[in-house]
Amino acid sequence: MEVFVLKNNGENHSMSLSQDIFDVKYNDLFLHQFITSYISNSHEGQKSQKSRGEVSGGGKKPWRQKGSGRARVGSIRSPLWRGGGKIFAYNSDINRKKKINKRFYSFCMRMLFSQLFRENRIFIFEKFDLDCISTKMFLNKILYLKAKSKSLFVFDDLYKNIILSSRNLENLSVISCRTLNPLMLMKFDNFFVTVESIRFFEEMFNEKVK
């Protein structure tokens, strides 16, 4: 599989990619299962609510059942009362983790990369560094790439000057290839990846190695 590598001087050259990694057939059912499982595993479980059995308050009946003219009630912890429990309270102790096998994770990531290549949304370029922190200089470096809409730049190694120069740009993010996750591949419109990052993904998701 041959793709072009974009260069700043306009002299683009080609490089070969593994078809086992970047030419995998797309499966919508597998992708849905993969993304929903990944999102479920990302939940930290910090949300919590108290049911009527957990809120503070006694179990004594506030007033007698009949004769007072008021609505009957059995406890001040009733969800109908202010300060009472929550109906169908959220329980943070429930384990919502879904197992994702390594082989399935690798297959779905290869499938995502392959689909992005088919849609011409991944562009490979040669890495660069900046001598100083300058947003203007960073924009001049990527001007030839013609990045539009929401774009993600993937470097094999994040340099401090690049991070600080790009963090104030709208609709543009810079990450390391080691921190790329499937949600990022679903979130952005275009991806600009260095040659070294592509080689890293080839080695990481190579099924023969595993």
- Give residue 208's pLDDT band: very low, low, confident or very high (50, 70, 90): low
- Give residue 209's pLDDT band: very low, low, confident or very high (50, 70, 90): very low
Q: Which residues pair with 193 in a beta bridge?
A: 124, 154
4, 66, 73, 106, 206 from 14: Cα distances, Å: 4, 87, 77, 26, 21
Over 80: is that where the pLDDT of 69 sits?
Answer: yes
For 165-192, the pLDDT digits (tens) are 999 999 899 999 999 999 999 999 999 9
Q: How far, in Å, CA of 208 to CA of 177, rounded?
A: 21
pLDDT attached to residue 45: 72
Residues of the chain with CATH 3.40.1370.10: 2-43+98-204
Report whether 125 contacts 147 (CB < 8 A): no
Report whether 175 contacts 184 (CB < 8 A): yes
- Give residue 160's pLDDT band: very low, low, confident or very high (50, 70, 90): confident
DSSP the chain: -EEEEE-TTS--EEEE--HHHHSPPP-HHHHHHHHHHHHHHH---------TTTSS---S-SS-SSSSSSPP-S-TT-TTSTT-PPTT---TTS-------HHHHHHHHHHHHHHHHHTT-EEEE-----SS--HHHHHHHSGGGT--SSEEEEESS--HHHHHHHTT-TTEEEEEGGG--HHHHHH-SEEEEEHHHHHHHHHHT-TTT-
Nearest to 26 by CA among 98, 114, 87, 85: 114
CATH of 2-43+98-204, one of 3.30.457.10, 3.40.50.1980, 3.40.1370.10, 3.40.50.300: 3.40.1370.10
* pTM score of the predicted model: 0.78
Q: How far, in Å, CA of 126 to CA of 109, rounded?
A: 23
